[in-house]
Amino acid sequence: MKTIFCVLALTGFVFGQYTSPPAQTKADAGGKSITITYHAPSMHGRKIFGGLVPFGKVWRAGANEATALHTEADLQIKNLSVPKGDYTLFVLPEQNGWQLIVNKQTKQWGLEYHQDRDLGRVPMDMSKSASPIETFKITLTANKLEMAWENTIASVPIVVK
């Protein structure tokens, strides 16, 4: 009798569990909730931006399922008006800057992206971290959304309307 072990790395599962754990960040503003749900991959010694995450290609801003934004309030993200509701967040990383993409399609696998469903795009403010950030992290406050991984920190201001 043979025992067969199978690891489905392409789908993000290892024996029924995700290799990148689920994560969530939440902010409350004026009694309204804003939530971002994503999966948090780790570097594991890999080059991330310009390597695992290529420049010039839309990225799901995490791993596994697409990164989800739920807002109970109308938002202003830089010059983009985002009505309350559900959205998917993507990022377009480039060597000289990133764009945050707010997309109206929801509940899709993270690699499924349709530009014609974009609500809009905004440039992100870029900075470098003082030390490497092993695990991808999204932080949300009542006035800022921040993504940090490897040696990169990208952020955008948020205003609750």
Say if 98 falls within a structural domain: yes
Per the structure, the count of domains in the chain is 1
Say if 99 falls within a structural domain: yes
Tell me the pLDDT tens digit for each residue of 16-69.
445 899 999 999 988 999 999 999 999 999 999 999 999 999 999 999 999 999
pLDDT for 142: 83
Q: What does the chain come to in residues? A: 161
pTM of the predicted model, to two decimals?
Answer: 0.87
Classify burial at 36, counting beta carbons within 10 Å of its beta carbon; exposed 0-12, middle 13-18, buried 19 or more. Answer: buried
Say if 12 falls within a structural domain: no
- Residue (of 31, 61, 39, 28) closest to 140 by Cα position: 28
Say if 11 falls within a structural domain: no
- Give the three-state DSSP class for 10: helix
**Amino acid occupying residue 58:** V
Domain that holds residue 138: 20-160
Q: What is the DSSP letter of 143?
A: S
How many other β-carbons are positioned within 10 Å of the β-carbon of residue 92?
Answer: 17
Could you give the residue ranges of the DSSP H alpha helices within the chain?
Answer: none
DSSP string across 34-56: EEEEEE--B-TT--TBTTTB-TT
**How far, in Å, CA of 87 to CA of 131, rounded?**
31
* Strand bridging mode 80-82 / 75-77: antiparallel
With bands split at pLDDT 50, 70 and 90, how would you rate the model's confidence at 11? very low
Say if 10 falls within a structural domain: no
Say if 33 falls within a structural domain: yes
Tell me the pLDDT tens digit for each residue of 83-138.
999 999 999 999 999 999 999 999 888 788 999 999 999 999 999 999 999 999 99
Q: Over the Cα atoms of the chain, what is R_g? A: 16
pLDDT for 76: 97
Say if 133 falls within a structural domain: yes
Say if 13 falls within a structural domain: no
